[in-house]
Each structure stands twice: as structure tokens, then as C-alpha cells.
Structure 1
Amino acid sequence: MSVLEKIDSPADLKKVSNQELEELASEIRTAVLHKVSNIGGHVGPNLGVTELTIALHKVFNSPIDKFIWDVSHQTYPHKILTGRKNGFTDGHFHDITPYTSQRESEHDFFTVGHTSTSIANALGYAKARDLTNDKGNIVAVIGDGSLSGGLAMEALNNAGDFKGNLIILVNDNQMSIAENHGGLYRNLAELRATNGQAENNFFKTFGLDYKYLENGNDIESLIHLFEEVKDIDHPIVLHIHTEKGRGYQPALENKEAFHWHMPFDLETGQSKVIDSGKSYSSVMLDYMDKKVSEGLPLVAINAAIPGIFGLKQFAAKYPDRYIDAGIAEQFTITFGGAMAAAGARPIIFHNSTFVQRAYDQFWHDLAINEEPAIVIVKGGVISGSDETHQGSSAMTWISNIPNIKYLAPTSEEEFISILDWALEQHEEPVVIQMPEHGLESRPTVLTDYSTPSYQMTKSGEKVALLALGGLYSHGEKVAKVLAENGINATLINPLFINDLDQAFLENLVENHQVIATIEDGILDGGFGQKVASFLGKYDVKVLNFGAKREFNDSVPVTELYNRYHLTPELMVADILSLLK
């Protein structure tokens, strides 16, 4: 019997001899790699914390002692040791969530998929423990680039005033999603180089106690450290140096690519998903290359996710024109907006599921000051991801901020046309929803996007389809099915997410009974509802197709499309029922 087979709970781990723990670490890594190679997932972060997680559960008593994980994309070993190892076997990969979930296990306390939250969460738990005379250690596990996030800084500042038990475990693997950036990480490097003895100590400036462990993948050393600080009566930082991707050579050789990876061949590390070649990201890279060569003071800015846009290629060619701010979405908006106000031409890149962290900066800095920065938002789709990584809300909240031009191109030509206009104008911030569902080519005639101007691509009667952005091709499919039912529908490319072409809509009312909007996001407060609100005074029926306002946890897209009536057949059925 393997060591892992003996363990169904942390209590079982207590019975395992210290001599067996190295074998257990190897077995956990095998289980993690089996899962992520088959369905994709976070590879390097989980491999790097295996020994650390074993030592935590060996020394502490979960769930009385509480481990509060940052990002929680480094919790696969924790899940394996807390009764969820079946989720790493064939046929059961999707039985557990990819992140911590208090609804899944008594050993988890938060549903967390974004960064820099653990110290604040742990501090809240520690304060509540003391107020209610409860017991137990509170351990915040932060790292993998999360430490430089603004919320982590705020929490460290407040932890400096706390008087009770709080253990802040800094998993220093010298990486974020990509490489780390910023002065904080130079101090961490100095601390590593001096075995934690450097006079300049970032953590001590907050009034926090501090200990350093160089070999953070040595179980015996970890156990000794944790036993030393268990039940401590004040906040302490344990700075632990680990190796991201440990135990799997491809993950060690390419730490960024194996932070999160699509399904891959375990033997070679090669992806099982074939790159389709040209994409909107590659179009963007070619465009920026051209503009820099023309002398434009263009700068690309992102928050630790260069791989999503292929920005490393741009950075290699123009290192002085590329800024990775680390996991600091708020900073990129305020910083990039200020650059635009000062005459530079920044393009700020964000994933839809992360950009929500910068809501206040969009509103208070970018919009109020009308700073002419360009923000590219990718991943704004109804997706089958887990509930912490839903990208379907960005269109709703961005589109309701004043002074922002929010545009949804449907093709490569429109994308470039909008970029040309956005870079030439200096009056307002421009947000561009990068199209999904594949690169498309479609002629465009519009060159000025300062005022809304919808494009009618097919003239018809009775039914008008306003298909926004990446779902324009969906509108084409609906029009085709309607034609098979004897209805020649009008098809429209709205382009403008938050500005209505009111004259165009008023003209539609004259010879259409049903106007249907189609969008790849949440309906409440979105594009379709804006159209419906405007048309409320007219004698026309409006149907809005999009997502409900709800958290979806790893629901397949096909199921969501059926739930939301976003398949062409269901959409046509709804339209026909209104016509009757």
C-alpha cells in the first residue's frame, strides 16, 4: 500500500512516520501531474508547495488550526490531504473545484481565485477568534506573486498592529504568474541572499516578527520551523524559499508556461492543444510593432498576465516600451491613465475576470479625468470556468461608467480600425472588448467612433438582430435559421457597447415587430437592457439574449447556452413565439 492510500484526512497524516513523508510528497506530485496533464490546471504552484503543505498538516491541527490560502491555485496538495484525493483520479477530475471552497470541505474557509486576499482574511479570522474566545492558529499562506498586490500591503500594515496569534507564511518561489517585478522583490532577493539577515527587511518595517527558511522544500526543516512558531502569541512572517514546478522538469525549465497549462503530454510536456496560429493577440502585436516603428510613444502595460496576450514577444523587442506591474490591476489603470494624460499612448491589457479588481480606478481616475488611455479586455465571454474566474461581468460594469467609450469589434478589420481611431483621439478613454470565438475577417467602413453608428449588414423586416462583438457570428446563424422559417431578418453590428445609436433604433421600429439583442455577458445592466429601456416607449417587442446574473461554477458552455436560450434554435423559437 502506498503512503497516500493510507491518508483520507489530516489525522491520518499524523500517523505517518517522518521517514515516509518524502515518498508521500512524490505520490502527491504524481497525483497532481496526472490531473493537470489530462484536463489542464495550475502545475508549478502546486508542485512547489507539496512539502510545505505536508509539513503544515503534520504539525498543525486542521480545521481547528486554519490555513487560509492566497489565490488557492496552490492548494491541490492540501485538497489531497483533506479527503479529496479522489478528485485526482480518472473520471473524478471535476468532482472537486480547482480552488478552495468552504462548501466543499471543513478544511477550507473561503472561495478564492484572485490574489492578495489571504492576510486580510486571516487577520479577520484571528480577530474574530480572539473576540469569541475561540482557539487555534491562523495561518495565511501567500506567495506566487500575490505579496505585491495592494490588498496584501494594506493587510500587512494592519497586521503590524495586531496583538494575537497570526502566522503569515510567505511562499517565495521567485515567481509570479510570470517573473516578478518591482522593488519588493529585490528586497526578497536580498533576504534570500543573506539567509534572512539583511538589515533592510520589508516585513520588519510593519512591526512584524520574522523568520527565514532557505530550503522550503525540505520537510524536516519545515516541520521544525512550524513546531517552533505553533501557538505563537503575536504576528510573525515565515519567509520560505521554495521551488516552483519542483519535481517536473518541463515545469522547472519553463515556469511561466507551466504556471497554468492546457492538457499536456506528461512525458514530453508538450501541449495537447494545437495553437491555431493567427489570433487577435497576434494581430495586436503586429499592430503595436508597426506603431512603435512609426515613432508613436506607445507603451504596453499589463498586470502579470503577459502570456494571455503574447506580450513577451513585444517586451523582448521593446523592453523600454513594456511594463509588467505584477498582480496590481488597480495600479495599471491609474498609472496608464496618467501616462495618457501626459501625452504618451499607453495600451493597458487585462483579462475580463481580473479587471474587476480595478473598478474604482476606472471610475475615479480614468473616467472622471477623461484620460485617453486604451484598455484591451480579453476573455469577456460566457464561459465554463469556475465561479471565481467568470469573465461575463466586465461589459456590464464598464459600460455603466460615464466618460468611457466601450467598443466591441467583430473582425480583424474593425479591431484595427478602432485602434487607429483610439490612438489618434485624445478626448476620452477607450475600452476595446477583444473578440472571442475565433479570428474573423469582415470589411469595415467606419473610421470615426466618437459617436455611435450601428452598421446594418443585412436588410430585412419583422425581426431585427443586434449581435454584439464576438457573438456577431451567432447573429448570422440566427438569421439563417429564421430564413429557413420564412423570415428575412435584419442583421446589425452595433459595435458600441455603452452608447446607443438612437436614430438607428427609432428607424428599426418602423418595420420590425421584434428586436433581439445578443451579447456575450450578463444581461442585467448590459447592452440589451439599454436597448430595451430606450425602446420601451415604442410599439415593438424586445428580446434580450445573454447570461443571467449568477455565479456559475464550472458549468459547461453548452449547458449555459441552453439555459440562457443562446443556441440559434432556442433563440429562433423565442422570436417566433413573440411574432405569433
Structure 2
Amino acid sequence: MSVLEYIRGPSDLKALTTGELDELAEDIREFLVRAVARTGGHLGPNLGVVELTVALHQAFDSPVDRILWDTGHQSYVHKLLTGRQDFSKLRGKGGLAGYPSREESEHDVIENSHASTVLGWADGLAKARDVRGRDNHVVAVIGDGALTGGMAWEALNNIAAAKDRPLIIVVNDNERSYGPTTGGLADHLATLRTTDGYEKFLAWGKDVLQQTPVVGRPLYGSLHGAKKGFKDAFAPQGMFEDLGLKYVGPVDGHDIAAVVSALGKAKRFHGPVLVHCLTQKGRGYPPALQDEADRFHTVGAMDPLTCEPLVPAAGPSWTSVFGDEIVAIGQERPDVVAITAAMLHPVGLTRFAERFPDRIWDVGIAEQHAAVSAAGLATGGLHPVVAVYATFLNRAFDQLLMDVALHRCAVTFVLDRAGVTGTDGPSHNGMWDMSVLQCVPGLRIAAPRDAGQLRAQLREAVDVDDAPTVVRYPKESAGTTVPAVGRVGGMDVLHRADDADVLLVSVGALATVCLSAAELLAGAGIRCTVVDPRWVKPVDEQLAPLAASHRLVAVAEDNSRSGGVGSAVGRSLRDAGVDVPLRTYGIPEQFLAHAKRSEVLADIGLTPVEIAGQIGAALAHKENRQ
């Protein structure tokens, strides 16, 4: 029986010997490789924090002591040590979430899986603890990649201001977020990693100089008084200490005893402390270590020996289609440049970076900076393409509005994972972009329905030279080609029927769903016109006249129903004096539980049967009222 099988909660760790803790770490790694290979998930980050997590639960008493995880994709080990060892449906419907979840355990605090937030949480929890007169520890675990986010430094500024408020910050320094961490902070941490350490030098100086007759003690005192200079020279942790943070480390994050010792020192200090732990993403699994792109940050279901996928891809992914097309555009357009926020590989910019290394910038987890920098690039005569996940653009709304749109900068934002993403849970669904961005003056939004339209609309977007544009698409396969049978204004007609009853506006990747719904309605004697607006903002001027010839207008979108495309279409119809009833089918105003994309779409009614049924019921209701 493995040591892991005896663990039912953090308290069980306290009785283990050093040897048993090492066995536990090996058990956890073997478990993670087997379990994540079956379901898919975040493998590399969790392999890298095995010993660190064991040490945290050895040193602290969760949940009384609050252990907070930034991003949370590295919380699988934490789940195992807090009694959650059934990974059979990890990230699947009814199974464990891929991130911390308050519903699962009292040991989980932060469910938001966006990076760089943990230090703000820790600051607030530490203040609340002090106000309430409690003495528990607050521990924030943050990766070096997340420290590239501006929110982390805003929090550090506030944390350091309260020099007598105990708070422990553990930096999980693996030199990576999705890929290698970039920027000045990365350089600083690299220097700390490769320095023997100031404390060793100071200890040597004390032993030698204090034994030197006459001048030894005065000289040591002078040197000790100048220790700030020596720290900068021999172990430049001064950046953190200048902020008012006690610095402990660097420490080997894969040595449980060393990490526990460092955390013990941090616990005894009555103020904010930073514990710098060096770890290796993908530790203990050779295929992950050989993958220089992202060290198996996220994997699909696969054979753990060959790493071959268990479920073959249904076709080219939206991400790969974008990646190929942006390279083609870059070859034709020397003014086209690219920016991403620590997601070079996940958003498909790897090939562009290889082909045009001087025309791409990874700014780290700093979407706000990406947007403002893009405004500067555009003003300087280039056309920047900013590629991020749709959910992460939420952070840069003010910059997109006030820096890009207000200045009419020609910047193209490419939003991957738009709409329902599924297995990554509520904070990764890109379900707000078409609502949030509706109010941005001059902005144009494209929602391609298939790979061919993505290529075409990306080119149309980068051809716009006086306003920002957005191209958004979902996760997974780009699916089959959906041909148009006609054109009205800028809209593609996907299905036409004589004397149609219903105008069904299909947004983006829901084209096949809407066409299937139209077939079901035809079987019930209800005729439909199905159109793809292609550009959903602004609403095409020809939509209102077309709607006027139908008895009902329906809009289906992979976005929140609140303030989305349906709302914009309704406003456009009212402005044009068209009083045809409107129904909108989209994502309800709620956070969605993790499950496969298809399962989530079924749960929220974005299926052909549900849409057809509701349209039929709406028409029947209209006739009854007449």
C-alpha cells in the first residue's frame, strides 16, 4: 500500500518520517501521471510543486491557516493531501474541478483561476485576521510568471507598507508560466538562483574577521553596517527588501526538509516575508522535461508511456488555423506585429515567433500593458495583433477603451477560447467579450463560423486602419466548412426558404447548431432564413429590413445573453422602427460548472432541439395572442 493511500487530510502528514515524506512525493508523482493521462489536465505545473505542497501542509495547519493558490492550476497535489483522491472524472461533469473549489473543500479559498490575484487576497485576509484579533497564518503561493502581473506589484506595495503584519509569500520559481517567464523580474530571479548567497559570505566574514586581532571587530562592524551594499553584490534580493519584505532563500523547492525549515523561519518573523523556492516544472516525468514549449502545462487524455493522444483531433483547431494565417499575413505585411501575455504557444503564435522573432513580444501576464503597448505600436505606424484568451481580455477593458479605441488605433485583438470552454471551469469561459465590448465606440467584432471565415475575417480585421477590431473564436476543432448560399449586405445567408416565418441570426461557431435547428423547424412546418452576420458589431444595416419580412427574429450566440449580440440586434430593430418579436438564445447570467463544452451547451439549451423547440413555442404563443 502506498503512503498516499494513508493520507486523508493534512494532519496525517505530521506523523510521517522524512523517508516516508519522500516516498509520499514519489507516490503523488506516479498518481498524477496516471490520473491526468486518463482525463487530461494541468500536469507539468503539479509535478513541479509536489514537495513544496507537502512542505506547506507540514508547516501549517490548513484550514485554520489559510493557504492561498494563485491561478490554482497547480492545486492537484493540495487536493490529494486534503482528502480528494478520486481523480476519475477530473475536470469532467460531476468530478473534481481543475482549480480550487469552495464547494469541494474548506481548504480551498480562491476559485478565480486568473493569475496575479493571490497577493491582494492575502493582504485582505491578513487585515481581516488582525481586525478580528486572530493569530492564524496567511500564506500566498504565487508563481514567478504571475509576478509579471501588475496586480501582484500593487498588492506587494500595500503588503510592504504594514511592516508589522505577518504574511508569508511563497514564490514558486520555475522560470515559467505557460512558457519561460520573461522580463526584468525574470532576470532578477535568475540572478538570485545563480548566486551562492549573502548569508554564507556574511557568516564567513564574521568568523574570520572577529578572530582577527585589533582591527577585526571594528572592520566587521563597518562591513556589517554596509550590508545593504554586500547584499546587492552577492545576492541581490535587495529589490524585495527595499519594498519592506524579509527575504528567505533561495531554497530547493524539491527538498521537503529545506522548505519546511524556510517556512519555519518565515513563521517566526512578525511582518511580511517572501520565501523564494526553486522548482522544476514537469519534475520527475521525462516527456514533460523534454517539452521545451510548455513542459506539459496542459495535456489531453493520452497514453502515459508514448504521450500519444487517446482521442484523435476532429480536425484543425481554431488556434492552429489562426497560427498558420497570421504567419501568411506576416509574410505579406511587414507592418503586422504580434503581442501576447505569457501565452505564446497556447494562442498559436509559436510559428510567427520563429519566422519573425523581431516582430513579436511576450509581455508576461500583463494584458493591460499589452493593450497600451499595442496602442503605441499602432501610433508608430505598425498594425499589432494582440492574441489572448477571451476571458483574460476582461482585464484590459479600460486600456482597450481609453487607450486604443479613444485614439482610434488600428489594433486587432484575437480572442481564443471565446464562449464556453468547458473543462477549465467558470473563470475560463470566454462568455463576456461580446457583451463587455458592445459599448466601445468604433470597435468592430468578427465572429467567424468556420476555418475559412477565420482566415478571411482575420485579413479583413488587419486591413482596418482607423479603429480597433476583434476576432473571436471558441476552443477545440474548427469543425466543418459551412458554405453560404447568398449574401445580404455584409451578412452571409446560410439557409433560405420562401416566405420564411423566422429569421435566425447565427453567431460564429453556432452555425451548424442553427442550421440543424432550422431543419427541425422545417419538419414542423416552420420555415427559416438563417444568416451569419460575420461582423456582429456594428449590426449590419440590412438586418432590420430583412427582419421586417419575418414573423419572428431569433439570435443564437455563444456569449452571455445580457448585453450581447441579441441585445444589440434588438436595439437596432427598435431604432429602425421594426417591431418584429425577438428571442435571444445564449449563455444565462451565471457562472458555469466545469464539464465538456458539448455538455455545458446542452445544459444551457444551446442545442438544435432546444432552440427549435423554443422558437416553435414562441411562434405558437404569438399566434395565440393574435
Q: When the two structures are superposed, what TM-score results if normalisation uses the length of structure 2? A: 0.87
Instruction: Tell me the residue number matched to 1:184.
Output: 185
Q: 1:288, 1:88 → 2: CA distance?
A: 39
Q: 1:273, 1:167 → 2: CA distance?
A: 43
Say which is worse superposed, 17-26 or 269-278, in terms of deviation. Answer: 269-278
Aligned residue identity for 1:541: P
1:540 deviation in Å?
2.0
Say which is worse superposed, 395-404 or 280-289, in terms of deviation. Answer: 280-289
Secondary structure of the 1:332 match is helix
- 1:479 and 2:518 aligned: yes
Q: 2:410, 2:171 → 1: CA distance?
A: 38
- 1:466 and 2:467 aligned: no
Instruction: Tell me the residue number matched to 2:490.
Output: 453
- Pairwise mapping of residues 187-336 of structure 1 onto structure 2 (< 5 A)? 187-197=188-198, 199=232, 200-201=236-237, 202-254=239-291, 256-276=294-314, 278-336=316-374
Q: Is the 8 A contact 1:408 1:435 kept in 2?
A: no
1:88 deviation in Å?
6.0
Q: 1:88, 1:164 → 2: CA distance?
A: 42
Q: 1:381 aligns with which of 416, 419, 424?
A: 419
Q: 2:531 aligns with which of 486, 489, 492?
A: 492
Distance 1:395 1:234, change over 3 A: same
Q: 1:401 aligns with which of 430, 433, 440?
A: 440
1:24 deviation in Å?
0.7
Q: 1:419, 1:77 → 2: CA distance?
A: 41
1:577 deviation in Å?
2.2
Secondary structure of the 2:594 match is coil
Secondary structure of the 1:272 match is coil
Q: 1:277, 1:412 → 2: CA distance?
A: 10
1:121 deviation in Å?
0.9
- Pairwise mapping of residues 30-49 of structure 1 onto structure 2 (< 5 A)? 30-49=30-49
1:555 deviation in Å?
3.9
Instruction: Tell me the residue number matched to 1:544.
Output: 584
Q: Is the 8 A contact 1:468 1:493 kept in 2?
A: yes
Q: 1:565, 1:85 → 2: CA distance?
A: 33
Secondary structure of the 2:493 match is strand
Q: 1:86, 1:424 → 2: CA distance?
A: 51
Q: Is the 8 A contact 1:60 1:230 kept in 2?
A: no
1:196 deviation in Å?
4.6
Instruction: Tell me the residue number matched to 1:524.
Output: 562
Q: 1:245, 1:400 → 2: CA distance?
A: 43
How far does the alpha carbon of each residue in 1:58-111 deviate from its partner, in whole angstroms, 9 at most, with x for none?
122222221111111111111111121234689999532221123322222221
Distance 1:283 1:7, change over 3 A: closer
Say which is worse superposed, 462-471 or 307-316, in terms of deviation. Answer: 307-316
How far does the alpha carbon of each residue in 1:440-475 deviate from its partner, in whole angstroms, 9 at most, with x for none?
44567999xxx9733334433211111111112222
Q: Is the 8 A contact 2:37 2:303 kept in 1?
A: yes
Instruction: Tell me the residue number matched to 2:16.
Output: 16
Secondary structure of the 2:384 match is strand
Q: 1:176, 1:203 → 2: CA distance?
A: 21
Q: Is the 8 A contact 1:32 1:88 kept in 2?
A: no
- Pairwise mapping of residues 81-92 of structure 1 onto structure 2 (< 5 A)? 81-87=81-87
Q: 2:604, 2:52 → 1: CA distance?
A: 43
Instruction: Tell me the residue number matched to 1:117.
Output: 117
Secondary structure of the 2:82 match is helix
Q: 1:292, 1:161 → 2: CA distance?
A: 47
- In structure 1, stretches of 5+ residues that fail to align are none
Instruction: Tell me the residue number matched to 1:572.
Output: 612
Instruction: Tell me the residue number matched to 1:157.
Output: 157
Q: 2:116, 2:34 → 1: CA distance?
A: 28
Secondary structure of the 1:515 match is strand
1:143 deviation in Å?
0.7
Pairwise CA RMSD:
2.5
Fraction of identical pairs, as percent: 35
How far does the alpha carbon of each residue in 1:149-193 deviate from its partner, in whole angstroms, 9 at most, with x for none?
111111111121122111111110111111111111011010111
Q: 1:243, 1:93 → 2: CA distance?
A: 31
Distance 1:335 1:558, change over 3 A: same
How far does the alpha carbon of each residue in 1:259-301 deviate from its partner, in whole angstroms, 9 at most, with x for none?
1111121122233233455444344334333333335222111
- 1:62 and 2:62 aligned: yes
Q: Is the 8 A contact 2:492 2:533 kept in 1?
A: yes
Q: 2:411, 2:313 → 1: CA distance?
A: 31
Distance 1:196 1:124, change over 3 A: farther
Q: Is the 8 A contact 1:195 1:214 kept in 2?
A: no
Say which is worse superposed, 426-435 or 496-505, in terms of deviation. Answer: 496-505
Q: 1:144, 1:8 → 2: CA distance?
A: 30
How far does the alpha carbon of each residue in 1:407-457 deviate from its partner, in whole angstroms, 9 at most, with x for none?
12224443333333333332100111136652444567999xxx9733334
Distance 1:231 1:82, change over 3 A: farther
Instruction: Tell me the residue number matched to 1:170.
Output: 171
Q: 2:610, 2:553 → 1: CA distance?
A: 16
Aligned residue identity for 1:167: I
Q: Between Structure 1 and Structure 2, whose CA radius of gyration is higher? A: 2
Aligned residue identity for 2:518: A
Q: 2:92, 2:521 → 1: CA distance?
A: 41
Q: Is the 8 A contact 1:204 1:210 kept in 2?
A: yes
Q: Is the 8 A contact 2:181 2:364 kept in 1?
A: yes
Q: 1:149, 1:90 → 2: CA distance?
A: 28
Secondary structure of the 1:338 match is helix
Q: Is the 8 A contact 1:515 1:543 kept in 2?
A: yes
Q: Is the 8 A contact 1:400 1:525 kept in 2?
A: no
Secondary structure of the 1:224 match is helix
Q: Is the 8 A contact 1:35 1:88 kept in 2?
A: yes
Distance 1:425 1:89, change over 3 A: closer
Instruction: Tell me the residue number matched to 1:356.
Output: 394
1:238 deviation in Å?
0.7
Distance 1:398 1:44, change over 3 A: same
Distance 1:136 1:91, change over 3 A: closer
Distance 1:93 1:20, change over 3 A: farther
1:379 deviation in Å?
1.2
Aligned residue identity for 1:340: A
Q: 1:315, 1:187 → 2: CA distance?
A: 24
Distance 1:121 1:91, change over 3 A: closer
Q: 1:319, 1:556 → 2: CA distance?
A: 36
Q: 1:121, 1:504 → 2: CA distance?
A: 47
Q: 2:245, 2:473 → 1: CA distance?
A: 44
Q: Is the 8 A contact 1:413 1:443 kept in 2?
A: no
Q: Is the 8 A contact 1:414 1:444 kept in 2?
A: no
Q: 1:182, 1:565 → 2: CA distance?
A: 44
Q: Is the 8 A contact 1:410 1:440 kept in 2?
A: no
Say which is worse superposed, 356-365 or 40-49, in terms of deviation. Answer: 356-365
Aligned residue identity for 2:587: A
1:331 deviation in Å?
1.2
Aligned residue identity for 1:23: E
Secondary structure of the 1:576 match is helix
Say which is worse superposed, 285-294 or 60-69, in terms of deviation. Answer: 285-294
Q: 2:315, 2:10 → 1: CA distance?
A: 46
Q: Is the 8 A contact 2:143 2:172 kept in 1?
A: yes
1:239 deviation in Å?
0.8
Q: 2:375, 2:604 → 1: CA distance?
A: 37
